[in-house]
């Protein structure tokens, strides 16, 4: 029942580790891929999976509209939207107005804007699947993470509201919530903070019942499931890919 072959999939944050891994998996299952990212594709990652690349700042409505119009004309109507794009600010009560404006503009506003302009495409072809990336941080409180966690809680709320709004159009909306995932961002963060990568990996791993961090391939597999016909009776749900993080 997989039903992914030939479908057009748009992945925001498509050059990031999770976004690109998801694109790779969907490409392997026969999807036509569009990678969207605020950064230029200087490494030529799109060409490696025969994907179309579009540079767009999803926090800017005019850019989003232009990008979505371009996609419809050049590629076709999007059937699968995977919202992985995110801006990272890790602060508590000391967060400034600028901090809140930046993270909300991308994580909440940007996710909403790209969805706003892709939904009409999905309606025109009789349905689709939207996967919003949240996190275990969208379920719990974490010290000095108020800015980030607030947006991840919000993503889960958007999913549940949109699932109700879009069900009549046969558009499913779900949230994918990873635990800690071993990515280049994790490594760069350790290096930036002067932390030992191996020790930090052990610390992060111990937070999960399976005693390890997840892999990007595992998260991508879950995204492909939600995008597929195998998940045809799933909408408004949170899929945890967290190695038992929230069960501890």
Q: What is the pLDDT of residues 84-107, one digit of tens each?
A: 999 999 999 999 999 999 999 999
Query: 65 and 107 share a domain?
Result: yes
- pLDDT bucket at 248, cuts 50 / 70 / 90: confident
Structural domain for 190, as ranges: 181-213
Q: Which tens digit of pLDDT belongs to each residue from 194-222?
A: 999 999 999 999 999 999 999 999 999 99
| Res 183 pLDDT > 80 | yes
Write down the pLDDT at residue 87.
92
Is residue 29 included in any domain, yes or no?
yes
pLDDT level of residue 117 (50, 70, 90 thresholds): very high
Asked if pLDDT for residue 1 goes beyond 70, the answer is no
Q: Are 83 and 32 contained in the same domain?
A: yes
- How does pLDDT run across 18-66, given as a tens digit for each residue? 999 999 999 999 999 999 999 999 999 999 999 999 999 999 999 999 9
Are residues 156 and 134 both part of a single domain? Answer: yes
Q: Are residues 186 and 63 part of one domain?
A: no
Q: How far apart are CA 37 and CA 13, in angstroms?
A: 5
Tell me, yes or no, whether 26 lies in a domain: yes
Same domain for 223 and 111: yes
Check residue 72 and give its pLDDT. 98
Same domain, 208 and 146: no
Please compute the mean of the pLDDT values over residues 122-136 and round it to a whole number.
Answer: 98
| Strands annotated E in the chain | 8-12, 32-37, 52-55, 80-83, 128-133, 171-178, 238-241
Dist. CA 94–CA 147, nearest whole Å: 10
Q: Looking at the structure, do residues 49 and 127 belong to the same domain, yes or no?
A: yes
Residue 213's SS3 state is coil
Residue 181 has pLDDT above 80, yes or no: yes
Domain match, 49 and 60 both = yes
Question: Per-residue pLDDT tens for 4-29?
Answer: 999 999 999 999 999 999 999 999 99
Report if residue 3 sits inside a domain: no
* Residues 135 and 208 occupy one common structural domain: no
Helices first, then strands: H and E counts in the chain: 9, 7
- CATH number of domain containing 93: 3.40.50.720
Asked whether residue 2 is domain-assigned, the answer is: no
Residue of 87, 148, 180, 245 with catalytic role: 148
Q: Mind listing the pLDDT tens digit for each residue in 217-244?
A: 999 999 999 999 999 999 999 999 999 9
Beta strands across the sheet bearing 171-178: 52-55, 32-37, 8-12, 80-83, 128-133, 171-178, 238-241
Q: How far apart are CA 166 and CA 16, in angstroms?
A: 28
For residue 50, which of 75, 73, 70, 78 has the smallest C-alpha distance?
75
Annotated active-site residue 148? The verdict is: yes
Q: Is 44 left (phi over 0), alpha (psi -120 to 50) or beta?
A: left
Residue/partner pairs of 55-61 with CB below 8 Å, 24 or more apart: 57/110, 58/12, 58/85, 58/106, 58/110, 58/111, 58/113, 58/114, 59/105, 59/106, 59/109, 59/110, 59/113, 61/113
Residue 1 forms part of a structural domain: no
Q: Mark whether 80 and 168 lie in a shared domain.
A: yes
Check whether residue 46 and residue 101 sit in a common domain. Answer: yes
pLDDT of residue 188: 86
Any domain includes 224: yes
Residues 161 and 112 in one domain: yes
Residue 37, in any domain of the structure: yes
- Whether pLDDT at 160 is above 60: yes
- How many domains, in total, are found in the chain? 2
């Amino acid at each position: 029942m997989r039903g992914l072959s030939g479908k057009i999939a748009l992945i925001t944050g498509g050059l990031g580790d999770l976004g690109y891994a998801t694109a790779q998996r969907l490409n392997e299952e026969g999807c036509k891929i569009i990678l969207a990212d605020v950064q230029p594709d200087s490494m030529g990652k799109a060409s490696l999976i025969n994907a179309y690349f579009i540079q767009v700042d999803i926090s800017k409505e005019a850019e989003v509209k232009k990008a979505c119009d371009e996609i419809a004309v050049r590629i076709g109507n999007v059937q699968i939207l995977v919202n992985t794009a995110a801006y990272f600010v890790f602060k508590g009560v000391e967060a400034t107005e600028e901090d809140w404006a930046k993270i909300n503009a991308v994580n909440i506003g940007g996710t909403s804007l790209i969805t706003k302009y892709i939904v009409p495409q999905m309606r025109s072809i009789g349905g689709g699947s939207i996967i919003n990336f949240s996190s275990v941080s969208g379920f719990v409180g974490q010290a000095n993470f108020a800015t980030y966690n607030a947006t991840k809680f919000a993503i889960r709320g958007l999913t549940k509201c949109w699932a109700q709004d879009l069900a009549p159009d046969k558009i499913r909306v779900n949230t994918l919530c990873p635990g800690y995932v071993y990515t280049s961002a994790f490594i760069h963060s350790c290096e930036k903070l002067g932390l030992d990568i191996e020790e930090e990996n052990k610390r992060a791993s111990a937070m999960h019942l399976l005693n390890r961090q997840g892999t990007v391939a595992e998260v991508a597999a879950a995204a492909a499931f939600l995008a597929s016909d195998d998940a045809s009776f799933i909408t408004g749900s949170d899929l945890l890919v967290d190695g038992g993080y929230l069960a501890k």
